[in-house]
Each structure stands twice: as structure tokens, then as C-alpha cells.
Amino acid sequence: MIKNSSFALIVLNWYEKHKRELPWRETLDPYSIWLSEIILQQTRIDQGMAYYLKFIDSYPTVHDFAAASEDEILKMWQGLGYYSRARNMHSTANSIVREHQGKFPADYASLLRLKGVGEYTASAIASIAFNLPHATVDGNVFRLLSRVFGISTPIDTGIGKKEFTKLANELIDERQPGQFNQALMELGAIQCTPKKPDCENCPLNNVCVAWKNDLTESLPVKKGKTTIRKRYFSYLVIEHGQYTYLNKRTENDIWKNLYEFPVAETTEKSDLFSTLNEHQPFFPPETEIQIKKETYWQKQVLSHQHIFYRFIYLKLAGKINIPSNLIRVNKKDIFNFAVPKPIEKELEQNNWL
């Protein structure tokens, strides 16, 4: 069994030679570290980089972030998904300005109390910004530790998370915990990859249980798959003179506080007639309805849901009944609103103005 000090030294030496140059690694500013960590949750670095730079440029301090409206934050976040992250960030920025005089708490327990900050993010900020010995355990670390130490405890269970977190905290280099955490995550991200890991060039291959026993494909272990919910959305893209209509999603559901076209949700694919019938109160008898286009069904994959969606383009003339939940929007202003990914893609691909 490798000694903890030797493990840390090997990982840190590897990191010094092979780490990727990333802007959030050039600072100890807790705001910048917090911003990068939240953006990179469920997001690849190549995609998250542009968003990080855009946010830092627009909101260089937590005061600037807090001063923005939630709609502005959501619009800038558009395309990243998991929008609760953005809403929680805005709430947290305001609480830091209001309750902490614009300074991030400098201890783990206080960081953990911030909205949207879990154990991983609190550990990252505490270790990198404040040099506190709290291990960050993400998917990369789970995978690396599982393989190196031959641990078959499922990583998606409470017992597994406690076991791996305990091990990571035992291994951490207390003199430079931030560097160690980043090194361990980086080694998992670019060397000990989920598929086809580069074991031959791994600095830990001489002590890796999985490498020695041909277990890299079977580790780490997960207990079971998540049940996927299927939902079907039919959007009505209404052209009424120079206007269209949007609804703001306000319930505790996907895409909360984003804007969308009027939608009919069903449990299976619906035909055009039933979809229009669903919106019948929208159209009094004197309304002239022209169906301009109906798109094919497409699919948006979320973590626990598959959204099947299509767009029905309507041109209306005469009187229409506007439900109280809809807002009238000039068509040329449609791009000012933060919308879910399916609508963003549709607006980019179709010039309907």
C-alpha cells in the first residue's frame, strides 16, 4: 500500500508537468473560484470556458454579479443548462453582499451554508482560496481512487461517498491542499478517463489495483440507473402582427424562470389537431388562423428526463384571447429573453421574423 505522503508527491509532481492552463487556476480569488466551480458542474471545460470569461468580463466582482437582475444572469447563462445553478448563484451573490460585506466566508462550514454550495464546491473554495485541508471529491476523483485502491463500494450511495471522501481527506497534502485537489481531479480527467484510460503512462500504475488486476473497465461501481421520465412539448410560435407571445416558467420544474412559447405538454406525441384544440380558448371564432409550419419532433436529453418537442408556427389575424400568464413581445425583441435550449436552437435555425 502506498504511503499518503508518497501518493500526494506523485500526484503533485505529475500535475506540475501536465496540468492544463486555465484562467481560474491563476487566481486565489474566492469569487472567481466559486464562479468557475459552479459553471463547470455538469459542464465540460471546453464549453464552460467561454461562459466563465463572459461572466468575469461582465461581472468582475461579486458586487457586480449581485447588482445584475436574475433575467440578465439567466440570459447570459443560456445554453449551459441546469438553470437552478444560475438562480442559486444570484441568490448567493446577494447574500454575500448583504450579509458578508461582499467577502466570501473563509471557513468550510460557512461556505457550506451558502445557497447552491455543496460539499464539493465548499471544499474547492476552502482549499484553493483559503488553503484549508478539505478534499474535493468529484466524478474524476471517485474513478481514480476506486481504481488505484481497488474499491468496489458503489459511488452513488451514501456509504460510498463517505468512504471515498474519508480516503481523499486522508491522502490530501495539508501544506498545499488546493493544488492537491486540482491535481487529483486533473489526473482523473485527462489520464484516468472513464473509457480507455492511459494506464501505461499513469504515474500511479505501479500501485494501481485496477491496472494490476485488469479491473479498469469494472471500476468504479454504480448501484443502479436512474429512471428516465419522458415528456412531450408542443410549442405554439404565434405571429400576430408584429408580436408574438411568451410564458415565464415559474413553477419548481425544469427551466424555472426562463421564457417559452405557449406549450401543450402531453404524455405521448400528439397530433396537430389535438394540440390546437388544447389551446382553443386562445382563439375565439373570429380569429383567422394560418398554419405556416409544423416541425418534426426533436429530443433534448436532461439528467433525469427526456424532452421531446416540436414547434407549430401560426399566423393569426383579428381578435385573440390572451391568457393572463402570457406576455406580448415584439418579435424583434425575442432574443432578449432567456429561453430553454430547444427554443434557443429553434430561434437560431429558423428566421421567422
C-alpha span between 66 and 97 (Å, rounded): 7
CB < 8 Å & 24+ apart, contacts of 223-228 = 223/154, 223/156, 223/157, 224/156, 226/303, 226/304, 227/304, 228/304, 228/305, 228/306
* 3-class DSSP state of 299: strand
Measured in residues, the chain has a length of 353
Is residue 339 within 8 A of residue 259, CB to CB? The reply is yes
Q: Out of 16, 21, 26, 37, which one is annotated catalytic?
A: 37
Is residue 65 within 8 A of residue 93, CB to CB? The reply is yes
Is 348 among the catalytic positions? Answer: no
Phi, psi of 100 (to 5 degrees): -125, 20
What are 163's three cell numbers?
A: 468512504
- Backbone φ/ψ region at 243: left (φ over 0), alpha (ψ -120 to 50), beta: beta
C-alpha span between 33 and 26 (Å, rounded): 10
CA 65 to chain centre: 18
Residue type present at position 204: L
In whole angstroms, how far apart are CA 255 and each of 51, 122, 175, 203, 346?
A: 18, 25, 42, 43, 16
What are the catalytic residues? 37
